[in-house]
Structure 1
Amino acid sequence: MATNASTAAHTPLASLSSVTLEVADVEAARRFYRAFGVETFLHLGESDAPTTGFRGFTLALTVSGPATVDGFVGAALDAGATVLKPATKSLWGYGGVVRAPDGTIWKIATSEKKDTGPATREIDEFVLLIGVENVKATKEFYVGRGLSVAKSFGGKYAEFTPGHSSPIKLALYKRRALAKDLGVAADEGTGSHGIVLGGTADAAFTDLDGFAWEPAASHAPTRL
């Protein structure tokens, strides 16, 4: 079980090392994520905890160009995902948002507006972006547990330096701003976040917005 924040203050975290999605049907989720092409980044855990709407986070893939974005979006849709935002050009590049059959929201994007090469199935960056009520407070919470801030933009956004052996980057964004970016309603989410974060700490805890952390070594979910 998760401890409270005061207990966690004495628990060095150092880095995010794993992401476990809690799903009702592990086999169905495994088939989807293999077809989507992200199976090496995830664990799956079985859970019947109720959860609806916006869960307060997104998993984001940064890739090389628009054609690669389209390839990942197409693979997700073919495997049963639904579109929240069609892939399109924006001020920042090109990207789209889909919801997996298990309810997890994925954003696939590139900073490039034109392709400079053929489409690939390579992922340049894998990011867990969590929506929080107070970016500064949550940033301080994690800094107190050993994470190093890589970028910070006042009370709007912060991201942490990934661990040496981890392919996952953790970032913070205002919850309502994140929901708007994903094309969902911020106040329609209820129930479980549907995700467990694995860290190098030696005890479980929850952060200020209710995201659960467990020691990666002791958390043994199903690997895809």
Structure 2
Amino acid sequence: MNDSEHGERAEKGGLSSVAYEAIMRMILARELSGGDIIQERRLADELDMSRTPVREALRRLEAEGWLVRLNARTIGVKKIAINEYVAALQVRELLEPEAASLAATKFGTPMINEWAKKLDAIRYSKQAGLKQQWEFDQTLHMGIAQATGNEVLFKIISELRKTTQIFENQTLPARSFPGYDAHLAIIEAIVTGDSDKARQAMQLHLRETRKNIFEAI
């Protein structure tokens, strides 16, 4: 394989990764929901890409189980069953409080100190919509996982959150930003380096989330 072919392959791989991240984000942000049919051409147009990297991204998402084949020509976003949701939420309740506790030991990092400012900006902004609210929630939870410095823990929490988010998207109507006080309690505990309080705040937040979800369904 010559240098030109290597370059083309690397570029395609890069575009495929960009397409993968974009489509996964669309699934998690309610732009695509459980059961929706995937239209390759429309996605390529929306992402301003050729169909080749989009097709490769869809194959990867299918291989990972986030997309399912409905027939020989059609794929759709996987519908998450309630037993899968409950199992994922139970594991999140075990792991994320410990992640918050570990993150509190890294309280000096700039990323952590910015969370409270971002939360306030969303709370008081008249322009912040559901997408911005979800993006903050995702940034906070995954930021806490990343702040632990444990890459395995980060990956596990990421996959668990995908499962719970897709279920909630396919089951519940869009709603305004939940849990401002709970998020703030988590942030304040981490910012002050209080590991025990960070663990307790995350436990309370996830239990309240579970309670609210099951009341809604």
Check whether TM > 0.5. no
Q: Which has the larger radius of gyration?
A: 2
Higher relative contact order structure (alpha carbons within 8 Å, sequence separation ≥ 6): 1
Classify the TM-score, shorter chain: under 0.3
Structure with higher strand content:
1
Higher fraction of helix: 2
